[in-house]
Amino acid sequence: MARTIITGAFPSTRPRRLRQADWVRRLVRETRPTPDDLVWGLIVHDGPEKRIPVRSMPGVDRLNIDEAARAAVRARELGIPALAIFPHIRADLKDEAGSEAANPDGLVPNVIRAMKAAAPEVGVACDVALDPFTSHGHDGRLDETGYVVNDETVAALMEQALIQARAGADIVAPSDMMDGRIGAIRDQLDEEGFDRVMILSYAAKYASAFYGPYRDAVGTASTLRGDKKTYQMDFGNTQEALRETAMDIEEGADLVMVKPGLPYLDIVRRVSEEFGAPTLVFQISGEYAQIKAAAAQGWLDEDRAIIETMSAFKRAGASGVITYFAERAAQLLG
């Protein structure tokens, strides 16, 4: 068997020479996340309490509208470009159809208005999906058998995106994985004169165990009937992620997203390389909780884990990261 013999490499070449001191490590570092890469994920609620801690996400609170506006100001101070809002809706406002999602005076539109009034220079992205609003916790409407119906759901999402745009959202971000929703939302926004509102498509979103803490945060953990496998992707698939992304870009997505983050870096790499579209990655609630829980035990250093994961996302080709760590990450990276 032929063997490749690399002659003359070692000892004349010693890769460790470039690692011997901080200054040279900094000099040769290839990837460097900055606050510009961050989108700050925020959970909001419509009660009077300023902050309600989320048990499964230590350090994350549900914010009321005033606190959310303050977070926007904080984002501006820290150089964080944008915020992504996720609502916790009161149980008495939820129904089978998720009708509260279309309320122009609901929590999300009010948060958008408060944020844009407080810090208009900070981008506001809104989740488009019905799960926080439905009594059953699914992202769409159900038929008699409990199946999430596609086209009727898309019609509801168009309404939801429109009220977000009217309230001043800069980005609408469908996270529901219905077929055809990007094109439908784009057409409707354009017809209504919102041609500058961007669409961030959750293009490759997998049915993941790592969403657990989020469902606790937005109050769908106890109500969710079944799982989301008939619309979110199977975690065994890569080609499907590429087809999904191609369709969403074709339908008019301005930015695309891969979700979850760290366990799916291979997908981030493929999507960012094959399409060349701005590719965001979501460091989701379960990833956040893992780091927090281990750090609380003293099993790892939280700050170092934050920087390392941000670097990993960038190295894989992400243009930005949605993360609940954004405030701390911006302090560390700024």
Residue among 62, 88, 215, 292 that touches ligand PBG (CB under 6 A): 215
- Considering the complex, state which of residue 131 and residue 244 has its C-beta at the smaller distance from ligand PBG: 131
> Pick from 184, 204, 284, 321: which binds ligand PBG (CB under 6 A)?
284
The reply to whether 129 sits near ligand PBG by the rule CB under 6 A is: yes
Q: Does 216 bind ligand PBG (CB under 6 A)?
A: no
In angstroms, give the least distance from the CB of 129 to ligand PBG: 3
259 is catalytic: yes
Q: Cα 106 vs. chain centroid, distance in angstroms?
A: 21
- Contact window for ligand PBG (CB under 6 A) among 89-97, 123-131, 299-307, 326-334: 123-131
CA distances from 159 to 87, 100, 102, 163, 202 (A): 17, 11, 6, 6, 18
The Cα 255–Cα 127 span in angstroms is 14
Task: For Cα atoms 57, 258, 37, give the angle at the middle one, nearest 5 degrees.
Answer: 75
Q: Are 115 and 66 in contact (CB under 8 A)?
A: no
Q: Which stretch binds ligand PBG (CB under 6 A): 59-67, 207-215, 233-241, 297-305?
A: 207-215
> 176 near 130, Cβ under 8 Å?
yes
Q: Where are the alpha helices (DSSP H) in the chain?
A: 22-28, 65-78, 107-118, 150-167, 181-191, 212-217, 239-251, 265-275, 285-296, 302-315, 326-333
CB of 19 to ligand PBG, least distance (A): 35
Dmax of the chain from CA atoms? 74
Given 228, 259, 292, 314, which residue is catalytic?
259
136 binds ligand PBG (CB under 6 A): no
> Is 100 a binder of ligand PBG (CB under 6 A)?
no
Identify which of residues 194 and 325 has a Cβ nearer to ligand PBG in the complex. Answer: 325
Q: Is 88 in the site for ligand PBG (CB under 6 A)?
A: no
Task: Indicate the burial class of 322 (C-beta count within 10 angstroms; 0-12, 13-18, 19 or more).
Answer: buried
Q: Which of 205, 228, 292, 314 is catalytic?
A: 205
94 is catalytic: no
Return d(Cα 154, Cα 291) in angstroms, integer.
35
Ramachandran class of 226: left when φ > 0, alpha when ψ lies in -120 to 50, beta otherwise: left
Q: How far is the CB of 218 from ligand PBG (least distance, A)?
A: 8
User: Quick one: angle between helices 181-191 and 150-167, nearest 10?
Assistant: 40
Which one, 127 or 244, has the nearer CB to ligand PBG? Answer: 127
Comparing CB distances to ligand PBG, the nearer of 232 and 272 is 232
Establish if 133 lies at the interface with ligand PBG (CB under 6 A).
no
Shortest gap between Cβ of 2 and ligand PBG (angstroms)? Answer: 50
> Cβ distance 309 to 316 under 8 Å?
no
Residue numbers at the binding site for ligand PBG (CB under 6 A): 127, 129, 131, 139, 175-176, 211, 214-215, 228, 284-285
Active site residues: 205, 259
